């Protein structure tokens, strides 16, 4: 099968397009003929080697962390799916990554039927951002009427998180450029801050949750907008000791995480807020719940551009430029 892969961690070399053996199908696995794959910032981080302290992969490494397609074959113990089912998915870390390929195999528990009202490209845009936001709000456990600050509202995470927050009855503030204000207002954002001319830390006060997708400097600034006891959950920086423990890191790595996160944890203590880092888990059952919201028109996919499979490197470069509004998709077949 054709796939886009790397043979080493590298910031400059384009992905290699070449022939790779078909995935081996386990007894609990489904083999999916890929129709569309989503690109996410984590793909860039993986390619650069920024995630190797957390995620261990073997080379050649096919990139791509989520997608949609048609079940082609099933393992002998699979009970949830049949060949021909249209599905969407985010693989568990034990399955590895590799959706930028013509086929992908993973455990049936990480897969869900595609929302009926979405195209393959639209469905591919959902799993990683949808599960991330779902698990953030589940951890935060906010009540209707509470306030959340979602950074970078026009990105893939931001556009989904705003919609989910409004479904939960929350007040939403977000940062963006003014050209994206109308789109974000239509998604449900209540307070729009122009990151080019305004400082969110001068505007927002007494928030219950911050969803951090930016750098450490922005993370620390964001703590000042929270009320005492508020929560800040980061998906970009910086892993905390509890995360290291939950992910089964060895003693040396756990000490390294403890050292790297010391400044952030000190600032969180100073501001009397709860800081944690989240790297989402795969879950077919949660994708089923998300599909129900999508089929009820409560959440809609936001896609910026769709690239053909042969232009995957152009798609990745476009995502890395930071100009994408919503998701960037690769149409595989």
282 occurs within a structural domain = no
293 occurs within a structural domain = no
Are 237 and 173 found together in one domain? Answer: yes
284 occurs within a structural domain = no
**pLDDT of 93:** 85
**pLDDT of 55:** 85
Count of domains observed in the chain: 2
CATH number (domain holding residue 84) = 3.90.180.10
Comparing C-alpha atoms, which of 249, 165, 251 is closest to residue 207?
165
**pLDDT of 95:** 83
Residue 127, SS3 per DSSP: helix
Q: Which of the 8 DSSP states describes residue 296?
A: T
Indicate the pTM of the whole model.
0.97
State which residues form the domain around 100. Answer: 2-125+301-331
Give the CA angle between residues 201, 205, 206 to the nearest 5°: 140
Are 21 and 80 found together in one domain? Answer: yes
**CA–CA distance from 116 to each of 86, 119, 249, 327 (Å)?**
9, 8, 39, 19
**pLDDT of 8:** 96
Using N-to-C axis directions, what is the helix angle for 251-260 and 262-271, rounded to 10°? 50
Residue whose tokens read 């959902």: 126
7 occurs within a structural domain = yes
**pLDDT of 323:** 86
> Which parts of the chain register pLDDT below 70?
none
Residues sharing a CB contact under 8 Å with residue 281, sequence separation 6 or more, in sequence order: 92, 131, 135
Are 112 and 151 found together in one domain? Answer: no
SS (H, E, C) 30-44: EEEEEEEEEECHHHH
Distance CA 15, CA 312 (A): 8
Comparing C-alpha atoms, which of 323, 292, 326 is closest to residue 187?
326
CATH number (domain holding residue 166) = 3.40.50.720
Are 139 and 114 found together in one domain? Answer: no
DSSP string over 171-208: EEEEEE-GGGHHHHHHHT-SEEEETTT--HHHH--SEE
Q: Which of the 8 DSSP states describes residue 280?
A: P
Cβ pair 134, 164 in contact under 8 A: yes
Are 146 and 229 found together in one domain? Answer: yes
DSSP string over 48-110: HTTTTTT----SSEE---EEEEEEEEE-TT--S--TT-EEEE---GGG----SBSEEEEEGGG
* Number of other residues whose CB lies within 10 A of the CB of residue 157: 24
62 phi, psi to nearest 5 deg: -80, 130
Are 7 and 86 found together in one domain? Answer: yes
Are 68 and 157 found together in one domain? Answer: no
Distance CA 78, CA 104 (A): 16
Q: Which of the 8 DSSP states describes residue 23?
A: P
**pLDDT of 126:** 98
Q: Which of the 8 DSSP states describes residue 22?
A: P
Distance CA 333, CA 329 (A): 12
Distance CA 237, CA 149 (A): 17
Sheet containing strand 274-277, edge to edge, reads: 191-194, 171-176, 147-150, 207-212, 226-234, 274-277
SS (H, E, C) 207-268: EEEEEECCCHHHHHHHHHHEEEEEEEEECCCCCCHHHHHHCCCCHHHHHHHHHHCHHHHHHH
């Amino acid at each position: 099968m054709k796939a886009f892969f790397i043979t080493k961690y590298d910031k400059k070399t384009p992905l290699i397009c070449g022939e790779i053996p078909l995935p081996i199908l386990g007894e609990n696995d489904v083999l999916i003929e890929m129709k569309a794959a989503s690109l996410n910032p984590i793909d860039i981080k993986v390619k650069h080697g920024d995630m190797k302290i957390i995620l261990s992969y073997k080379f050649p490494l096919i990139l791509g962390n989520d997608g949609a397609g048609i079940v082609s074959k099933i393992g002998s113990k699979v009970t949830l799916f049949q060949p021909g089912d249209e599905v969407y998915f985010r693989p568990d870390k034990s399955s590895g990554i590799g959706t930028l390929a013509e086929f992908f195999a993973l455990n049936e528990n990480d897969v869900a039927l595609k929302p009926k009202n979405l195209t393959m490209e639209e469905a591919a845009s959902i799993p990683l951002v949808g599960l991330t936001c779902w698990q953030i709000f589940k951890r935060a456990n906010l009540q209707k009427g509470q306030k959340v600050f979602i950074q970078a509202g026009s990105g893939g995470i931001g556009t989904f998180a705003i919609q989910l927050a409004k479904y939960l009855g929350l007040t939403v503030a977000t940062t963006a450029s003014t050209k994206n204000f109308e789109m974000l207002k239509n998604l449900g954002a209540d307070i729009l801050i122009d990151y080019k001319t305004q400082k969110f830390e001068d505007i927002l006060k007494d928030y219950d949750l911050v969803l951090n997708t930016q750098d450490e400097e922005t993370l620390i600034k964001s703590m000042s907008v929270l009320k005492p006891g508020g929560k800040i959950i980061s998906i970009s920086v910086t892993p905390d000791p509890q995360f290291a423990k939950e992910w089964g890191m060895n003693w040396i790595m756990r000490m390294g995480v403890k050292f790297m996160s010391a400044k952030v944890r000190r600032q969180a203590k100073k501001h009397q807020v709860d800081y944690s880092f989240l790297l989402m888990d795969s879950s077919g059952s949660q994708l089923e719940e998300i599909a129900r919201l999508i089929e009820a028109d409560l959440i809609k996919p936001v896609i910026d551009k769709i690239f053909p499979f042969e232009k995957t490197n152009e798609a990745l470069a476009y995502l890395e430029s930071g100009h994408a509004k919503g998701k960037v998709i690769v149409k595989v077949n």
